[in-house]
Amino acid sequence: MTVKGSNGNNQGEQESTHLQGLVHSVFPRFHIVLCLVAIFLGVAYIVGNFVGWVMHSFAHEIGFALPSLLIGWPFQALLLIVIGYMNFKVGKAISKGEAQAYSSSLYMNIITVVILLTIGPLGLLPAIAFFILMLALFAPSVKSYWYKEFREDMGPRSKELKFSLHLLRRSPLVIAGIVIVAVYFSIALLAPWITPYGATERVWADAKLPPGTPSGEAKVSTRLISSNYSLDIGLYPDYYHGEIQISAGEVATSIPPIIAFSIYVRNTSLDSPVVVLIHTAVYRLDLTTFDTLDWGQRDPYLVSAGNKTTLFRSNIVVNNTPSTYVWVVWYTASTKTTPWMVEMILNLKYNQYYPIHYWGTDESGGDMFSRIIWAAGVDLRVSLSVVFVALASGAVIGAASGYFGGALDEIVMRITDIFFAFPGLILAMAIVMALGTRNLDNIAYALMITWWPTYARLVRGQVLSEREKLYVEAARSVGASDTRILVSHIIPNTVQPLIVQATMDTGGVLLTAAGLSFIGFGSAAGTAEWGLMISTGQYYLLNYPWMAMIPGLAILFAALAFNLVGDGIRDIMDPKIRRRG
Amino acid sequence: MKLRDFILRRIILAVPVVFGVLTITWFLSYVVGNPVAMFITERTSPAAIPGIIREHGFDQPLVIQYFLYLRSLLIGDWGTSYSTGGDRPVLEIIARKFPATIELAIVAMIFAVVLGIPLGILSATRKDKPADHVTRVFSLAGVSMPIFWFALMLKYVFFYQFSVWGLPYLPNGDRIDNELWKAVLNNGVGYDYTTSITGFVLVDSLLYGQPFLFWNAVLHLIMPGFCLGYLTLAIVTRMMRSSMLEVMKEDYITLARSKGLTERIVVYRHALRNALIPTVTVIGLAFGGLMTGAVLTETIFNWPGLGRWATGAILASDMAAINGFVLLVALVFVSANLIVDLAYGTLDPRIRFG
């Protein structure tokens, strides 16, 4: 066994050194390129954003630019510079032939790609370039060496993972939570495709309809068939005509398509009136016998344009089958002494249907179902961004505070004490009030400021207990730097309670944000947002209870799902409960 | 460490927190926001504004402004609130409205403790039985419940639908039926700060010797009290369950069982006392949640306390009122935490010596 094992290792080593040589010859000084690219992007990002910020501040009030300055780009730019520096170090390690450098470098570049993607559309190009370079460099090494090492490393971990999944399968509540969360995220992402109405779209005639009522106004898709414009038309009869093909996709509903003619007759001189006779028709031509089938026409109609523009409308219903029609508009002036003109717009109105308001409508005819689904995106974005920023900043502050201790720790802990002296919603309330503008962004900023101490405390406590453990001592004794110990040894061990806390807080932030929105800090009336919808619905509670009831259920289930998942993860990952049976 | 030293240390530790709280409210309303707005009401003439700026020192450097702010807080000048009709000093309004909020919070706390602790015990002693699952879902729902929505739904069912079905229904809002108060006591004003003795309607009705009014007040308290207490109830239940489960694994419980004590005595005499300690802390910390909830609950139940006043102030952009409210809540929260800390130290000697 031992001989075999050592043989295998030797082989692996040889292979990997060979590969390193190969990689090195193909990409000489590759790490320097990576490092320069990342630093260049970071610096460009800082400069660009600073210029943008200065311009923005001169054009507007400083209060709007400030929050994005504080939390946005410096964070990303710093990360990019750090990644550049680390790439440099890792690259050096690779060229020296240290095998484990592969894996750290791989992680690093994955993070780089993610960061680049957060920059926006422009970040996509460098991200793709990075990704390709990464694959080119690391795929061979992963295959030959790293994967094997990884398998061996991950042996106990994958066993634990399997056990976790086994525990997960046995707890139906957690699975229910995960499913609900997944459903919420997918409906938030798919909102444009699954909602019949837009987020702020209203059908005034449908106001206050109970759940399940079909709309009184049909939804219809429109396609422009033709538009014509003729100036100073003579005395003689004239006509427009053309063909229209109705495809199978345009007869998907039970209501047949309509060919809608809108004809404007305009009297271009003010001298005397003009009276125009208009006749519209649609038919299908049987190409074997040249018979006209499905003849639909609007009788000749006199349009009188005194000294203005007059609109003549004609809607002709055609068969609900895909086929080709011929349309004709024939017109002439019956009395004419002045120049006149005709403008014609011809539309196909297809796929008409009466959408059902599954969850009723609100007081101004907004479809509750659509609005709640649109609001899912809005509310989830708020709570996720709050939790993400609070987690990131709180974890960094807490880790530093716990690891370095001393005066820093004391100061940070006193500051968190002060923040904990305010109930969350009330501090957030004061912050939004101070920021001046009432909208969801300011709610999010306020909640970020309110929420970070939770994570700082949590991470600090974890770091304090991990710091004294033997493995940290071991790492320090082989000369690992503080940063390395903190980043690659301590923080991974504090992740689990952080995940639990973050999951549960996503629900908590959702509730608090909705509460703030309910008492009037949210967006302008009419925005699709759950708290605001309940706030409006409360005035119609007695007669139209669904207006307040359904958005509340949406919040309840979302928060419940996050809590279930957080609870479940804690139970599954907690080593004390884990093996109990 | 002696108990006295412990108490002193805790109180001294609370001082910087109070200062921090003052600094943050000052920073938010005087540095980020516009401080002059706190002293301007609808009836202030534009010509008087420079005078206000001078009088309150807003033309001074920030450091001096900070000390002026601390001074004005100390001498009881918390600004003028105009959102309650008539310009009134913030401190006076707080004094009038505080008892209503406290009364509601106490009732909510009673709901939470009286229901939460037995439910937690039930859940722990019947772990993984149907009773446990029901309790867990009930408490999870409490943690995930948007309180303002819950209040609306309670009102819809127990006020509106019950009256539609012809059942005895709970009142819609307010602290007490004012017409009833007028009719019974024959004083024409109804219940407000002029006719109240202590500010607590339950106590006042008894002091007036009117059990009928007392019952009416109790009916008015049920819905808002339960609504406000549900979150705390959920937290207490969960905490009680987990600490009970923790305690039941201890050696002394095994010992008690092996001595042949009945399960009832083991649970209530041995386990419960030790399991209560973490729950007490949670109850103290839940006080902040109650203040938060009061803002939302009072608005919906038309409860004339601080929360409704604050909501009205927000809608009217009444800076002085909001600033005063935030400050007050923070101070109350700090003192509640301090009291819990002290109680905790008294209950559990390990904390004191640790």
> Residue B191 is encoded by which pair of tokens?
């219940």
- If asked whether residues B107 and B213 sit together in one domain, one would say yes
The verdict on residue B340 lying in a domain is yes
The verdict on residue A213 lying in a domain is no
B334 contacts A425? CB cut-off 8 A = no
The verdict on residue B170 lying in a domain is yes
The verdict on residue B353 lying in a domain is no
Of B18, B140, B292, the CB nearest to A563: B140
Find the CATH number of the domain harbouring A479: 1.10.3720.10
pLDDT of res. A7: 42
- If asked whether residues B76 and B164 sit together in one domain, one would say no
pLDDT of res. A114: 63
User: Are the C-beta atoms of A344 and A228 separated by less than 8 Å?
Assistant: yes
- If asked whether residues A47 and A104 sit together in one domain, one would say yes
- If asked whether residues A380 and A490 sit together in one domain, one would say yes
Tell me the per-residue pLDDT of B83-131, one tens digit each, with 9 for 90 and over: 777 778 888 889 888 999 999 999 999 999 999 999 999 999 888 888 8
Backbone angles phi, psi at B156, to 5 degrees: -65, -45
B51 touches chain A (CB under 8 A): no
- If asked whether residues B112 and B69 sit together in one domain, one would say no
The verdict on residue A544 lying in a domain is yes
Q: How many CB atoms are located within 10 Å of the residue B89 CB?
A: 16
* DSSP 8-state assignment for residue A346: E
A430 touches chain B (CB under 8 A): yes
- If asked whether residues B51 and B177 sit together in one domain, one would say no
Portion 491-510 of A in contact with B at CB < 8 A: 507
B21 contacts A542? CB cut-off 8 A = no
Q: Coil, strand, or helix at residue A286? A: strand
Rounded Cα gap, residues A295 and A285, in angstroms = 9
Of B17, B28, B145, the CB nearest to A430: B28
Contacts B24 to A, Cβ<8 Å: 418, 422, 427
How far, in whole angstroms, is CA A559 from its chain's centroid? 19
B330 touches chain A (CB under 8 A): yes
Tell which of B148, B161, B223, B327 to mutate to test the A interface (max A CBs under 10 Å): B148
A556 contacts B152? CB cut-off 8 A = no
A548 contacts B288? CB cut-off 8 A = no
For residue A212, with 0-12 CB atoms within 10 Å meaning exposed, 13-18 middle and 19 or more buried, which class applies? exposed
CB neighbour list of residue A108: distance below 8 Å, 6 or more residues apart: A83, A86, A87, A90
> Residue A55 is encoded by which pair of tokens?
């311009």
Task: Measure B212 CA to nearest chain A CA, in Å.
Answer: 29
The region that residue A97 occupies, defined by phi over 0 for left and psi between -120 and 50 for alpha, beta otherwise, is left
State ipTM: 0.89
End-to-end CA distance of chain A: 36
- If asked whether residues B173 and B296 sit together in one domain, one would say yes
B325 contacts A426? CB cut-off 8 A = yes
Contacts A551 to B, Cβ<8 Å: 149
Among residues A251, A264, A232, the alpha carbon closest in space to that of A329 is found at: A264
CB neighbour list of residue B341: distance below 8 Å, 6 or more residues apart: B10, B284
Task: Measure B114 CA to nearest chain A CA, in Å.
Answer: 24
Task: Measure A73 CA to nearest chain B CA, in Å.
Answer: 22
CB neighbour list of residue A404: distance below 8 Å, 6 or more residues apart: none
- If asked whether residues A254 and A292 sit together in one domain, one would say yes
Of B29, B152, B314, the CB nearest to A548: B152
Task: Measure B219 CA to nearest chain A CA, in Å.
Answer: 21
A424 touches chain B (CB under 8 A): yes
Rounded Cα gap, residues A99 and A52, in angstroms = 43
B156 touches chain A (CB under 8 A): yes
How many cross-chain Cβ pairs, A to B, lie less than 8 Å apart? 145
Rounded Cα gap, residues B231 and B141, in angstroms = 9
Can you tell me which residue has the tokens 């958005």? A551
A426 contacts B330? CB cut-off 8 A = yes
Task: Measure B20 CA to nearest chain A CA, in Å.
Answer: 6
- If asked whether residues A346 and A450 sit together in one domain, one would say no
Can you tell me which residue has the tokens 């240390």? B9
pLDDT of res. A13: 46
pLDDT of res. A40: 63
- If asked whether residues A182 and A154 sit together in one domain, one would say no
The verdict on residue A210 lying in a domain is no
Q: Coil, strand, or helix at residue A293? A: strand
Helices and strands (DSSP H and E) totals, chain B: 16, 2
Rounded Cα gap, residues B132 and A173, in angstroms = 13
- If asked whether residues B142 and B218 sit together in one domain, one would say yes
Mean pLDDT, chain B, as a whole number? 85
Q: How many CB atoms are located within 10 Å of the residue A57 CB?
A: 15
Indicate the residue among A297, A326, A353 that finishes a domain: A353
> Residue B33 is encoded by which pair of tokens?
């926001």
- If asked whether residues A252 and A304 sit together in one domain, one would say yes
- If asked whether residues B12 and B145 sit together in one domain, one would say no
- If asked whether residues B50 and B193 sit together in one domain, one would say no
Task: Find the domain containing A277 and state its range.
Answer: 218-353
- If asked whether residues A301 and A393 sit together in one domain, one would say no
B314 contacts A430? CB cut-off 8 A = no
CB neighbour list of residue A572: distance below 8 Å, 6 or more residues apart: A164, A167, A168, A171, A174, A578
Portion 140-179 of A in contact with B at CB < 8 A: 173
pLDDT of B62 > 90? The answer is: no
CB neighbour list of residue B99: distance below 8 Å, 6 or more residues apart: B196, B198, B199, B200
pLDDT band at B281 (very low <50, low <70, confident <90, very high): confident
Rg over alpha carbons for chain B, rounded to the nearest Å, is: 24
Indicate the residue among A333, A353, A373 that finishes a domain: A353
Indicate the residue among A325, A353, A381 that finishes a domain: A353
Among residues B115, B319, B199, B145, the alpha carbon closest in space to that of A430 is found at: B319
Tell me the per-residue pLDDT of B7-31, one tens digit each, with 9 for 90 and over: 888 888 888 888 888 888 888 877 7
Among residues A266, A279, A277, A280, the alpha carbon closest in space to that of A235 is found at: A277
Q: Please tell me which residue, A101 or B53, carries the higher pLDDT value.
A: B53
Among residues B53, B41, B111, B112, the alpha carbon closest in space to that of B80 is found at: B41
User: Are the C-beta atoms of B184 and B213 separated by less than 8 Å?
Assistant: yes
Q: Chain B residue closest to A550 (CA)?
A: B149
A538 touches chain B (CB under 8 A): yes
Of B18, B152, B296, the CB nearest to A541: B152
Amino acid at B216: N
The verdict on residue A205 lying in a domain is no
DSSP letter string, B10-69:
HHHHHHHHHHHHHHHHHIIIIIIS-GGGGG--TT--GGGHHHHHHHTTTTS-HHHHHHHH
Contacts B148 to A, Cβ<8 Å: 514-515, 518-519, 531, 534
B326 touches chain A (CB under 8 A): yes
The verdict on residue A286 lying in a domain is yes
Among residues A298, A296, A303, A265, the alpha carbon closest in space to that of A279 is found at: A298
- If asked whether residues B187 and B281 sit together in one domain, one would say yes
The verdict on residue A15 lying in a domain is yes
- If asked whether residues A436 and A490 sit together in one domain, one would say yes
Q: Coil, strand, or helix at residue B193? A: coil
Find the CATH number of the domain harbouring A320: 2.60.120
Portion 257-276 of B in contact with A at CB < 8 A: none
B333 contacts A425? CB cut-off 8 A = no
Rounded Cα gap, residues A487 and A395, in angstroms = 11
Percentage of residues in chain B having pLDDT higher than 70:
97
Q: Chain A residue closest to B17 (CA)?
A: A418
Among residues B343, B203, B352, B204, the alpha carbon closest in space to that of B287 is found at: B343
b or e along B70-86 (b: 16 or more beta carbons within 10 Å of the residue's beta carbon)?
Answer: eeebeeeebbbbbbbee
pLDDT band at B220 (very low <50, low <70, confident <90, very high): very high
pLDDT of res. A274: 80
- If asked whether residues A274 and A349 sit together in one domain, one would say yes
Rounded Cα gap, residues A487 and A399, in angstroms = 9
pLDDT of res. B119: 93
- If asked whether residues B240 and B336 sit together in one domain, one would say yes
HEC assignment per residue over A496-529? HHHHHHHHHHHHHHHHHHHHHHHHHHCCCCCCCC
Indicate the residue among B59, B89, B119 that finishes a domain: B89
* DSSP 8-state assignment for residue A367: B
User: Are the C-beta atoms of B279 and B134 separated by less than 8 Å?
Assistant: no
DSSP letter string, A225-262:
EEEEEE-S--SS-EEEEEEEEE-GGGG-SSBPPEEEEE
User: Are the C-beta atoms of A551 and A374 separated by less than 8 Å?
Assistant: no
pLDDT of res. B202: 86
- If asked whether residues B67 and B195 sit together in one domain, one would say no
Among residues A226, A475, A480, the alpha carbon closest in space to that of A342 is found at: A226
Q: Coil, strand, or helix at residue A321? A: coil
CB neighbour list of residue A101: distance below 8 Å, 6 or more residues apart: A90, A93, A94
- If asked whether residues B176 and B273 sit together in one domain, one would say yes
Rounded Cα gap, residues A81 and A15, in angstroms = 33
Widest distance between CA atoms in chain B: 85
User: Are the C-beta atoms of A531 and A447 separated by less than 8 Å?
Assistant: no
Domain count, chain A: 3
Domain count, chain B: 2
B295 contacts A556? CB cut-off 8 A = no
Among residues B286, B293, B301, B285, the alpha carbon closest in space to that of B337 is found at: B285
- If asked whether residues A407 and A552 sit together in one domain, one would say yes
Can you tell me which residue has the tokens 């937290």? B235
The verdict on residue B352 lying in a domain is no
Q: Chain B residue closest to A436 (CA)?
A: B33
Indicate the residue among B89, B119, B154 that finishes a domain: B89
Rounded Cα gap, residues B310 and B305, in angstroms = 9
Tell which of A62, A429, A547 to mutate to test the B interface (max B CBs under 10 Å): A429
CB neighbour list of residue A483: distance below 8 Å, 6 or more residues apart: none
- If asked whether residues A332 and A366 sit together in one domain, one would say no
Task: Find the domain containing B232 and state its range.
Answer: 91-347
User: Are the C-beta atoms of A39 and A112 separated by less than 8 Å?
Assistant: no
- If asked whether residues A233 and A329 sit together in one domain, one would say yes
The verdict on residue B307 lying in a domain is yes
Contacts B317 to A, Cβ<8 Å: 433
How far, in whole angstroms, is CA A56 from its chain's centroid? 25
Rounded Cα gap, residues B295 and B228, in angstroms = 10
Find the CATH number of the domain harbouring B155: 1.10.3720.10
The verdict on residue B288 lying in a domain is yes
pLDDT tens string for chain A (581 positions)?
333 334 444 444 444 455 555 555 545 455 556 656 656 665 655 555 555 555 555 544 433 334 344 445 555 666 666 666 666 666 666 555 555 555 555 566 666 666 655 555 455 566 666 667 666 655 555 555 556 666 676 677 777 778 888 888 888 888 899 999 999 999 988 888 888 888 888 888 888 888 888 888 888 888 898 888 887 666 677 888 888 888 888 888 888 899 999 988 887 776 677 888 888 999 888 878 878 777 777 777 877 777 678 888 888 888 888 888 899 988 888 776 677 888 889 999 988 888 889 999 998 888 999 999 999 988 998 898 899 889 888 988 888 888 888 888 888 988 998 888 888 888 888 888 888 788 888 899 899 999 999 999 998 888 888 878 888 888 888 887 877 787 777 777 778 888 889 999 999 999 999 999 998 888 887 888 999 999 999 999 989 999 999 999 999 999 999 999 988 888 787 766 565 44
A358 touches chain B (CB under 8 A): no
User: Are the C-beta atoms of A291 and A325 separated by less than 8 Å?
Assistant: no
The verdict on residue A163 lying in a domain is no
Portion 7-36 of B in contact with A at CB < 8 A: 16-18, 20-21, 23-25, 28-29, 32-33
Indicate the residue among B89, B116, B137 that finishes a domain: B89
Tell which of B149, B291, B323 to mutate to test the A interface (max A CBs under 10 Å): B149
A375 touches chain B (CB under 8 A): no
The verdict on residue A46 lying in a domain is yes
